[in-house]
Structure 1
Amino acid sequence: MDASDPGARRSLRRAGWLAALAVSALVALAARRSALAPATSPAPATWSVPGPSAEASPALPPPPDPHALSLPSGAPPGLRCEQAQKVTEFLDTELAAPPIAPLPAELAEAWASLLDPHGLWSAAPDSPVRPELLGAAPSMLGSLADRRGGCEGAERVAAVWQPSQRRLLELYDAAFAEAQRRAPAVSAAELFRLAAEPLFEDDPVTRPATELSRELGRRLGAFAARFPDEVALLEQARARFFPTQLEQLRDIAILAALRAYVPLVDPHGDFAPADEEWALYAGDDTLDSGSPLWGDVARTPLGARITSDPAPPLQVDDVVLAIDDLTLPGASIDQIEQAARSAPAHATRTLRVLRQGESRLLTLRVFDAQVAEAEPLAVERIRYGGGDRVVLRVVIPDVADTLGEDLADVLERETPGTSALLLDLRGNGGGSLDAAVKALGSFLPGAKLFPLIHRGAVTEVLEAERAPRPYRGPVAALVDGDTASAAEMLAGALQAYGRGTLIGSRTFGKGCVQEYFDDVVDGGVLRMTTLQFVMPSGQPLQQIGLTPELPLALPPALERESQITRQPITFGGPDVRSPRTFVAPPWPRETGAASRCEDPVVCRAISRLAGTKSGAVGRGPAPADSAARGARPRAGTR
C-alpha cells in the first residue's frame, strides 16, 4: 500500500473523537513507564504539497452502514499467530508516526483485562493464568512488535490455562447436575431470579473462579430441569464459558494480546474480531445510533435482561435467550449488542424470551425494527441590541456524516432576517472528517483547508466544496475544552482564514485521523491513526488545541489530548491558505444585552462578540519554519 496515495487506502471510515474515548479508557488500564527514553529528533522535513492531478484519484469507497454487522457466532473469538503479526506489521508501516513499543508489564496488564469477558479465566483472584501472563509478556511482545517466533508466549499461557479450565468445568458440571436434581423444588419466581440476576463483575473482579463456576452450574442446571428441550442452548453455553481445547485457548490468548497491544502503540487504535466489531463503534453516536431492539441490557448467565426501552412486543426485564440463530448464554456483551444490530434495516427479528410470570419460553417477533431518527440541528433565534438584531444560534453536537447537507439546509432556511450566526460547538467531540470539510464549503467555498501528514510528509490537502449558496454574514464559533477533532476543523478553518471569530476556551487538541481497515486479516477490523492534520495556516492542532480570540470563562475539560499517554510527535505543516480573501463582515456593533437565551453562556458570548471583527489571524510561519517546528518533539510526546 502506498501511504502517499490516500485514494489507494482501503479504509472503511474516518473516525471521530468519541470512538476513541473507549480506547483511552483501555490505555489507562496499562501501567505507565517508570522512565522515559530520551526522544530523538528526526531530520527537518521539506514540505512538498501535492498539486492538482490531471488524472482523478480513485475515490474512497463510501462508508458502510454502521448497522451492517454480521451475526456473531457466540463462540470465544481467537486469532492465529500469523494473522496477529500481519496486523502489527501493517501498524508499523501505516501509523501516522512510528510506533513506540510498550513494556512487557504494560502488555501483561492490558492482556489480562482483555482475555477474560466473564471474570472466570484470567481476571479472577484465584486464576493461575494472570501471573503466567506477566511471565509470558516479554516473549509475546517480541512476537507482536518484532514478529519473532510463533507466539510462544500465548502457547505458554494456554498450557497453564487448559488444566485450570478443566478443573473449573468439573466444578460447573457437578453443580449443574445437583441443580437439575433439586430443580423441582425451585419456584417459577426463583427460577426467573436465577436467570435474570446479573452475575458477572466489572474490574476489579473479586469473586473466585471456582465460586463463579459453581454458581453458573447451579443457575443453568435449574434452567435445564425446567426446560429440558433446551439442550443445544445449554451445551453452547458450557462450551463458551469453559473452552478446553489447547489450540482454541492459544488463539484466544493471541487475539487478546493483539487487542492489548494495538492501543498501547496507538492511543486511538483498536482491533476487534468480526464477531465483536460493534465494540469499535460503541459510544460514538456518529457511528452507532443504537440498538433497534432495546435501549440497555444487563448480561446474565442465560443471556441479556432488558433494562430500558424495549421494542414491542419485548418488555422491560425480559431475558433474551436467543436472537435469530444466535443463542446468547455465554456470549460476550459485545457479541450480544452486535447481534441486536446485525440485521438490515426494516428486518424482522425472531427472539426467544424468558418472561417473568410465564410458564413457557416465548418466541417473539420484532417487526421492522428501527433505531430512532437522528435529531435535526437545534436552532435558537436570539434578539439583542434593543430587539432589532437577531443572532441565529445553531447547536452542532457532533460532526455526523450528513452535517454538510444539514447545515446548508439550516442556513438557507433560518438565516434570512438574522444579523449574525453563532455555531455552538461546545462538547462536540468530532465525527466525520469528510463531513467537516463539506460543511466548511458554506463559509469558505473552494478554499484549501487541511494538509494531511503521514510521518512528516504531506500526502493530501483537503479542499472545501464550492457551495451553491454560501453564507456570507458574520459568523462566530463557541468552543470549549471538549470541542475536539472534526469540530476543531470547523472552528480552526474559520479562524485561520479570519472568516469567523472563536470565543470560549482552549479546545481539546485532537489533530489526528483514524481509519478502519477490514482487509488486513480475514475476520477482523483494525482502527488506527493514519494521519495528522494541521490548520490551513500550517499551525499544528494535535495536543495543542485552538486558542479563541475572545476568552470566556467556561467549566474546565476533564481531559485533553495532551494528557493521553503514548502520543506521537506533533507535526506542523505548510501554509496552504488560498490567496483570495474571504469577506468576513464584523459582528453587529450593538451595546444592548441579548434579550433571553436558553443558555446564559450564549448571552455572555453574544455580548462579548458585539462589534468584533474577524480576521486577526496572521499568515503563519513560512514553510521552512513549519518544518523545523514539526521536527521537534513537543512537551508530552515520546
Structure 2
Amino acid sequence: MRQAADIAGSQLRMQATGVICEFAYGSLEALDKHSRFEFTPTSSGPRVDAGDNSVVGVGVQLKTHRDGAVILRTLNGGAAQQAGLQRGDVIVGVNQRNLAGLTLDEVANLITGPAGSTVAIDVRREDKNARVNLSRQAIRITNISEVKMVDTQQKIGLIRLEKFGEGAVQELDRALWSLHQQGMNSLVFDLRGNPGGLLTEAISISNRFVPSGKIVSTRGRNQSDNTIESATHDQTWKMPLVVLVDGDSASASEIFAAAIQENRRGLIVGRKTYGKGTVQTHFPLQSVSGTFWLTTAKFYSPTGREMAGVGVNPDVTVNMSERELEEIGPIDRDLKAGVSAILSHKPGELVNNMSGRQQVRPAQFQFSG
C-alpha cells in the first residue's frame, strides 16, 4: 500500500494519505457491507457496531416522513427538549426551506451546523404549525437516554438504551438502582433503534438479568474467534422484564434480546429485529491514523441459532403498517403493549418462566409525565 502511495505521489502528485485511504475504502467495500475503514481508532475490542460520543445539533432523533422528518425523541439537555418539542412533532421546514421529499440525511444536514449558530425549524403538531428558533450546541450522547417510571401505580420502570458503548453497563447499574429506590417492581427495557456496540457490553448487560444459561456464541475462521459466553453474574435483577425491539434493533441488541427470550427470562415486544449477526474486530493502521474494522465472526443465539439475516421475532408482535410507522404520534404503542404485557401476567411469569408466543390482553395503565 505504501509503495503504491509513493508512486502516486511522485508521478501523479497525489497525497500519500489520500491514496491509502481510497485504497482502504475500496478494498473493504468488496468484502462485506459491515467491514469498513475509520479515521482514528475509537473503542477497543470486538464490536457488533460503532457509535459516536457527541454530536452538534439541536438534540432530536428523527425518522423519515413524507413531509420532512418526524421526531422520535428529544435528547436530554438539547435545545429541542428545552423548547418543548416532543415525540410525534413533524419537522416540515428548516430556515424557510420546505422539506417534503428530502431524505433523512438531507434533512439532518440542514438542521446541523456549527456550535453556537441558530436554526429556524418549522414544526407541525396536530395540524398546527409553529416556527421555533433553536441554538445548535454540542450534546454528549450517553448510552442511556431515558430512565423513568411509566406507571407510577404499578411501579413499572423504563430504561432506554441507545447503544452498547463503553461504560453502558455502569450507566445501566446507576439507572437500575435509581428506579429501585423509587420502588420499581417491573421493567421495560427499550432497545428500539439501538444499532449495537461492544460485544463485551452486550454480554455484561445480559449478565445483569440472565441468572444462568448461555448468552451468545461466536464462530469464525480462527480458533480465537470461537467463543461461548454463559451467564456468570452471581446477583441478577429478578423483576418482571419486557424488552422493546423493532427493525432497527441490531447486533448487540439482538444478542441481548435472544438471551432474554431463549433463556425464558422475559418477553420481547415489538417487531422483528434487523438481523445483523456478525462481529467486527479493529486493526489499527501504521500508515495513517485509522482503523480497519473487519468482519471476523458470526454470532449465534443461546440455542445455537444463527442470527445473521434472521434476527429475533418478538413474543408479542405490535403490528403497524408503513403509514402508521411513519405517522408516529405522542402515544407510544410499543410501550403501551409492553406495559400491558406486564400487567396481564402474574409477576413470576415474567421472571424466568416464559415460554411460547403471547398475545397482549387489554389492561389498565397510567403513564406519568
- Partner of 2:171: helix, strand, or coil? helix
The TM-score, its normalising length taken from structure 1, stands at: 0.37
- Partner of 2:200: helix, strand, or coil? helix
Contact 2:143–2:163 (CA under 8 A) maintained in structure 1: no
Match of 2:237 in 1: 471
Q: Deviations over 1:522-568 (max 9, x none)?
A: 654211111111111101111111011111114669xxxxxxxxxxx
Give unmatched runs, 5+ long, in structure 1.
Answer: 1-78, 84-153, 159-243, 296-305, 318-369, 558-596, 619-638
The TM-score, its normalising length taken from structure 2, stands at: 0.61
Deviation at 1:446, TM superposition (A): 5.7
Distance 2:285 2:50 in 1: 24
Label 1:474 to 1:262 Cα distance change in 2 as closer, same or farther (>3 A): same
Q: Deviations over 1:400-433 (max 9, x none)?
A: 2222122122222213533321111111111121
Match of 1:403, as an amino acid?
A: A
Distance 1:473 1:445 in 2: 12
Contact 1:291–1:371 (CA under 8 A) maintained in structure 2: yes
Match of 2:146, as an amino acid?
A: A
1:139-154 equivalence runs, <5 A: none
1:133-532 equivalence runs, <5 A: 245-246=10-11, 248-249=13-14, 251=16, 252-253=18-19, 255-272=21-38, 276-277=39-40, 286-290=51-55, 307-310=113-116, 372=140, 374=142, 376-383=144-151, 388-415=153-180, 417-445=183-211, 447-455=213-221, 459-466=226-233, 469-519=235-285, 523-532=289-298
Match of 1:541 in 2: 307
Match of 1:492, as an amino acid?
A: A
1:611 aligned residue (345, 348, 368):
345
Label 1:546 to 1:556 Cα distance change in 2 as closer, same or farther (>3 A): farther
Label 1:555 to 1:508 Cα distance change in 2 as closer, same or farther (>3 A): farther
Distance 2:286 2:297 in 1: 18
Q: Deviations over 1:99-151 (max 9, x none)?
A: xxxxxxxxxxxxxxxxxxxxxxxxxxxxxxxxxxxxxxxxxxxxxxxxxxxxx
Contact 2:214–2:259 (CA under 8 A) maintained in structure 1: no
Distance 2:317 2:28 in 1: 38
Match of 1:63 in 2: none
Match of 1:615, as an amino acid?
A: M
Match of 1:80 in 2: 2
The CA RMSD over aligned residues, in Å, is 3.9
- Partner of 1:490: helix, strand, or coil? helix
Deviation at 1:598, TM superposition (A): 5.9
Distance 2:301 2:286 in 1: 31
Deviation at 1:487, TM superposition (A): 1.0
Contact 1:408–1:439 (CA under 8 A) maintained in structure 2: no
- Partner of 2:155: helix, strand, or coil? strand
If each structure's strand is expressed as a fraction of its own residues, which one has the higher value? 2
Match of 2:354, as an amino acid?
A: G
Match of 2:51, as an amino acid?
A: T
Match of 1:564 in 2: none
- Partner of 2:312: helix, strand, or coil? coil
Distance 1:611 1:455 in 2: 44
Contact 1:450–1:536 (CA under 8 A) maintained in structure 2: yes
Label 1:247 to 1:463 Cα distance change in 2 as closer, same or farther (>3 A): farther
Distance 1:410 1:496 in 2: 25
Deviation at 1:604, TM superposition (A): 2.9
1:7-46 equivalence runs, <5 A: none
Q: Deviations over 1:311-369 (max 9, x none)?
A: xxxx779xxxxxxxxxxxxxxxxxxxxxxxxxxxxxxxxxxxxxxxxxxxxxxxxxxxx
Match of 2:335 in 1: 602
Larger C-alpha radius of gyration, 1 or 2?
1
Match of 1:413, as an amino acid?
A: S
Distance 2:252 2:41 in 1: 22
Tell me the number of residue pairs that the alignment of Structure 1 and Structure 2 aligns: 268
If each structure's helix is expressed as a fraction of its own residues, which one has the higher value? 1
Distance 1:449 1:309 in 2: 42
Distance 1:422 1:466 in 2: 21
